[in-house]
A and B are shown apart, each in its own frame.
Chain A
């Protein structure tokens, strides 16, 4: 069984500052994938970034980077230079080899960017 934990229900961050969103996971699968999605108030789910368990480098996509610490089973999302448009709910998700089709989501972290 897999489990995704996001312990921060909500965060405030000032514009232009960096913010780190925590995500820990638990799985017995030797191979797995980790994802981050953004859900703005309009409701759609937007894919941000992906990290494979065997990837040597931490994933980066523009202002998003994933701080992957495999031994600690953590996959924190770092958003650099926050913008007002980054205000949204952020979900960490994973899937493992025993059920590769099942992308399981954490509870999410609400981020509010203030001017």
Chain B
């Protein structure tokens, strides 16, 4: 079975540009998570969805960030306008439920560089 698929794998953009990161979760998984990883702050949870509905977006840094999940097989994380401090690796993860193990399956990440 295919894992979590993220695109693009790498993105280099200039400050002020809009960035859209995409994620396809594992089929059948009902939870989807967006994480950001930086050297300074480690892995931070930005937002997570359950059955396509955002449950907790308290980790979204500011209004420049938005996330959507229009259906069970697709989610986007958008940054508009982008800033150099947004440079990071953005991970999408999905899980089937949360009880018991409920481990998260991660995509390979999208490395964003904002110049």
Contact = CB atoms under 8 A, between A and B. Distances in A.
B100 interface: yes
B101 interface: yes
Contacts of B108: 42-44
Contacts of A95: 98
A69 interface: no
A72 to B, nearest CB: 23
B56 A101 contact: yes
Interface extent on B, as a size class?
20 to 34
A101 B50 contact: yes
Interface extent on A, as a size class?
20 to 34
Given A91-B43, A103-B104, A45 B31 contact: no
Contacts of A99: 56
| Residue of A42, A47, A99 ringed by the most chain B CB atoms within 10 A | A47
Interface string A90-104: 010001000111111
B15 interface: no
B109 A101 contact: no
Interface in B85-115: 89, 91, 93, 98-109, 111
Contacts of B33: 101, 103
Interface string B39-76: 00011010010100001100000000000000000000
Interface of B: 31, 33, 42-43, 45, 48, 50, 55-56, 89, 91, 93, 98-109, 111
Interface of A: 33, 35, 37, 42-47, 50, 52, 91, 95, 99-108
